[in-house]
Amino acid sequence: MVQANSATRKALNFSAEYQPYFSKRRPVYARRGMVATSQPLAAQAGLEILQKGGNAIDAAIATAACLTVVEPTSNGIGGDAFALVWTKGELHGLNASGPAPELLSIEALKARGMTEIPTHGFVPVTVPGAPAAWAVLSERFGKLPLTDVLDPAIRYAEEGYPLSPILAKFWKRAVQIFKARLTGPEFSHWFDTFAPSGRAPEAGEIWASPNHAATLREIAETKAESFYRGALAEKIDAFSKEYDGFIRKEDLADYAPEWVKPISVNYRGYDVWEIPPNGQGLVTLMALNILKGISFSERDTVETLHHQIEALKLAFSDGFEHIADQRNMRYAIEDLLSEEYAAFRRALMTETAAAPAPGTPPKGGTVYLCTADGDGNMVSFIQSNYMGFGSGLVVPETGIALQNRGYNFTLDPNHVNALAPGKRPFHTIIPGFLTKDGVPIGPFGVMGGFMQPQGHLQVVMNTIDFHLNPQAALDAPRWQWIKGKTVEVEPTFPHHLAQALAERGHDIKIALEPNSFGRGEIIWRDPETGVLCGGAETRTDGAVAAY
């Protein structure tokens, strides 16, 4: 068994005795298996698969499929996914985000009189990657048949389940918004599926979707072939053609997820891993690269917070300028993560807030889950439709809610993230993973649009710099950079620190509720004992299931 030194164990803080003032509950411990996600029923589904002999990869797939049923406000069968998988001593990356359809281009939109990409409808629909992610993960690393792994999700879709409180809140909000905005006939299938009584289901009320169940069963039985080259693909194609959409069955048939090499920076002896672009995980790594040149003694000081915010702003400005489908990026990832460039950006920080601007490197609506098993396998997995329910389109008689990821493209033909057929958009969803000296520590993630790199940064520093256990690292009050010098802080954020940041020139806004500050989960493995320590988000209906 690998032995960890005392500094490692202190940094990971597996002790639950230390409970910061802001932590609402204690972490969960187990040894044989653990699943952490934003919905208790989905966490239990993953645990059920572990107890049936599946591994962490099987559990992740089961949880992800179940989340399309029990948290449709944030993801669906028609969305994208990314994964970091630790197995047999190696970390593997999977990019299961889909490209723009071949018919979708800047010229095609201009011909329709469009000057920007709409948030809803067929225009922002890109090829869904989630079903393919489940299939390839199962094929390469799973132990159980996909039919067994998807069974809990099918059961919940077929028999129904009672809504949890936060889920019901977002569901109701979406129905209210969609009623006002989505008035075309193409959106009627969404309302038939998610508001069958003309309203959103309430907390505790049973909701079921037999069509969703049938689609999941077909995906399981065909290993997702039907979705990309069979009957389900034909239904997506017919729906798109009926309403002059761009996606076609040929786009689905040409799609395959991509195995990628994860990227990392070493932060105070720990390797922090992310998926490479087109995802925004690179933003987190650039910010950490800047911050590792500064010492932090305490978490709750204006100095710590100011430097975190300024580093994040610099990294984000670079991300918005340089991140795109990796095949279209003008700068290499290693240049953006170089020590030389980090030092250059670090030198730009002063004692007052600055308006961020991109630099020139030297040449060279989402759900998150994590799983672990007793054999050392661990998965960091994220899946999304974007902006809650996605495009507002549900393929008739399938329960497939299509994503709207194409909204993140730009119509500026000179930008690296310009819309083009077959190109992946800048993507917000990112899984994270932590190792030390080649030894896995575990998966982590914080969902929530452009909050995600900011959540990753804060969770990593809470863990490594400030020695918080997983639950406390998640519970800690968060800040969120919005634009320019504007920073939002949670209602629980210490007032004296918000005031001190304002005196530094930050435009501080106190949010009325914590919904926009991300939702995360963490599982750390004790390198000495193999004991798992997990935390789940208290800002939503998060849960850790373990045995």
C-alpha to C-alpha distance for 175 and 392, rounded to whole angstroms: 10
In order, the DSSP letters of 327-391 are GG-SS-HHHHT-HHHHHHHHTT--SS--------PPP--EEEEEEEETTS-EEEEEEE-STTTTT
Amino acid, single-letter form, for residue 231: A
C-alpha to C-alpha distance for 28 and 39, rounded to whole angstroms: 16
Cα dist from 111 to 106, 412, 424, whole Å: 9, 15, 22
Residue whose tokens read 């299938």 = 189
C-alpha to C-alpha distance for 44 and 289, rounded to whole angstroms: 37
Helix axes 56-70, 40-51, angle to 10 degrees: 150
Closest CA to 15 of 36, 29, 31: 29
Taken in order 85, 54, 164, 129, the sign of the CA dihedral is positive
Paired with 535 in beta bridges are 522
Catalytic residue among 37, 366, 398, 540: 366
Largest CA distance in the chain: 64
Residue 495 CB neighbours (<10 A) = 9
Paired with 410 in beta bridges are 418
* 435 catalytic residue (yes or no): no
C-alpha to C-alpha distance for 234 and 179, rounded to whole angstroms: 28
Paired with 81 in beta bridges are 96, 383
Q: What is the DSSP letter of 52?
A: T
Active site residues: 366
